[in-house]
Amino acid sequence: MLLISIGKKFVLASTVFLCLSLLGNSVAIARTDNIDGELVSLEIPPGQPVPTVKLMVYKDAVQGYNLEAKVTNFRFAPERVNSAPRAGEGHATLSLNGRTITRLYGSWYYLANLPTGNNQLTVTLNANNFEPLSNNGQVIADTVNVTVAAGSN
């Protein structure tokens, strides 16, 4: 009786582990281009207007930072997220120190604080299907470095 009970627990634990492992791998496969884990980018075709993005960071008068992603030849299209790419539309991805923190579906974003020290904020333009947009092999993005003194958030 005890052996059967342990066996059931083992089978259940193995099944959960297998499901989680498969789920993790399917997410990774959907977001990668090759075995090295590099992201796929969507190249802007010749003759099409090339989107641009310029990230502006403004210290808020009370607390935190107001970020503005100024774009050209690009339209934020939150209503079409997860759909097929369309020319000149999609969303942006905001990263802090190399780690994605949010999607942007418009030009402005409020960031409550930044860690003390040197910080790198990067915004990348993405198609509706999450592929970063690129031009001549370069991902369309902008990076701003922000240094935060202790206690100045």
Expressed in percent and rounded to 5, the helix, strand and coil fractions of the chain are 20, 40, 40
**What DSSP designation does 90 have?**
E
Q: Which CATH number fits domain 42-148: 3.40.190.10, 3.10.310.10, 3.40.50.2020, 2.60.40.10?
A: 2.60.40.10
Q: Which SS3 state, helix, strand or coil, does residue 94 take?
A: strand
Dihedral angle of Cα 86, 88, 94, 95, to the nearest 10 degrees: 80
Give percent above pLDDT 90 in the chain: 69
Q: Contact at 8 Å (CB) between 123 and 53? A: yes
Alpha-carbon torsion (77, 97, 139, 108), positive or negative: positive
Of 33-47, 102-116, 122-136, minimum mean pLDDT range? 33-47
Is residue 119 packed enough to be buried (19+ CB in 10 Å), middle (13-18) or exposed (0-12)? middle
Question: Looking at the predicted structure, is the pLDDT value of residue 63 above 50?
Answer: yes
Question: Looking at the predicted structure, is the pLDDT value of residue 4 above 80?
Answer: no
Question: Looking at the predicted structure, is the pLDDT value of residue 15 above 90?
Answer: no
Of 2-6, 17-21, 84-88, 106-110, minimum mean pLDDT range? 17-21
Task: Average the pLDDT over 70-97 and give the result.
Answer: 95
Task: Average the pLDDT over 99-114 and give the result.
Answer: 97
